[in-house]
Amino acid sequence: MSACLRVLLVEDSKVLAERLTETITENARVELIAQVDSDAAALVVVEREPIDLIVLDLQLKQGTGFGVLRGLAKLSIKPCMMVLTNYDLPVYKGAATAPGAAYFLNKSQDHGLLRGILHDMCESLGLVPAQ
């Protein structure tokens, strides 16, 4: 078992990436492994580093979050997926959850839920804060 929850942030907005990074790293039981802005870069990180959770935007600088979901489906690596998007439409939700996204959150309304989800994931894994 890892000593912390290992998170990959896939977000192309610099402002939002900074805010999400603050939220992710404020929990002593969570480690932000990388922040990338394209689907190809996300898949490279996942293939090189053990990742427990991917926080994923659907619209990226290059590619899409769906590209990450499709790429992960071809790998044996299965981190938990959290889609955080402005495209909160049933068709997008279905397309994201069908290949395995456990969470589908609206950026403008649900971004505050990230803190609680991280806490709950750490609790369920029995992770203790680093000393």
- Is 131 within the bounds of a domain? no
Number of domains in the chain: 1
- CA 86 – CA 109 distance, rounded (Å): 9
Question: Has residue 130 been placed in a domain?
Answer: no
Matching residue, tokens 């279905």: 94
What sign has the CA pseudo-torsion 120, 126, 127, 131? positive
pLDDT tens digit at each of 131 positions of the chain = 458 999 999 999 999 999 999 999 999 999 999 999 999 999 999 999 999 999 999 999 899 999 999 999 888 888 999 999 998 889 989 989 888 899 999 988 887 899 999 999 999 888 876 55
Domain that holds residue 38: 5-125
Q: 30, 19, 2: which is closest to 116 by C-alpha? A: 30
Identify whether 39 is part of a domain.
Answer: yes
**In this structure, is residue 95 part of a structural domain?**
yes
End-to-end CA distance of the chain: 17
CATH of the domain at 75: 3.40.50.2300
What span, in angstroms and rounded, lies between the C-alpha atoms of 34 and 2? 17
State pTM to two decimals: 0.92
